[in-house]
Amino acid sequence: MRTVIVAAALAAFAAPALAQDPTDPNGDKRTHELNAEVAARLKAQDEAEARAMAEYRAAQAKYESDMAAHRAATARYEACVAGDQTACGPTSGS
């Protein structure tokens, strides 16, 4: 995705300068506008990636919790089948 944004920015830079800012020591207002636009897009992309990573980590934590609960239930079942009557009772918290 960044490649597309950078490629678009480079294509825009290849166009002739549209405006000169006399107060700008570099004299290229459009370049600064494009740089700001690209920076804003990259920041938005970084924020979206951070949100997606947080969602992924939350889903992964839930999966691991669910798997731990499943393993515990399986262990209780196997203990009950093996003759441990204390494992045969109803579970708490489920």
Q: pLDDT tens digits for the chain (94 residues)? A: 566 565 666 565 565 555 565 666 666 888 888 999 999 999 999 999 999 999 999 999 999 999 999 999 999 999 999 988 888 877 665 4
Could you tell me which of 51, 57, 11 has the C-alpha nearest to residue 34?
A: 11
Domain range for 15 is: 2-83
What pLDDT sits at residue 32? 87
The predicted pLDDT at position 85 comes to: 87
E strands, 1-86, where? none
Residue 88 lies in a domain: no
In a domain, 78, yes or no: yes
Domain annotation covers residue 70: yes
At 80, list the tokens: 């009950």
Looking at the domain assignment, is residue 41 inside a domain?
Answer: yes
CA distance linking residue 82 with residue 88, whole number of Å? 10
For helices 2-14 and 29-81, the axis angle rounded to 10 degrees is: 170
Count of structural domains within the chain: 1
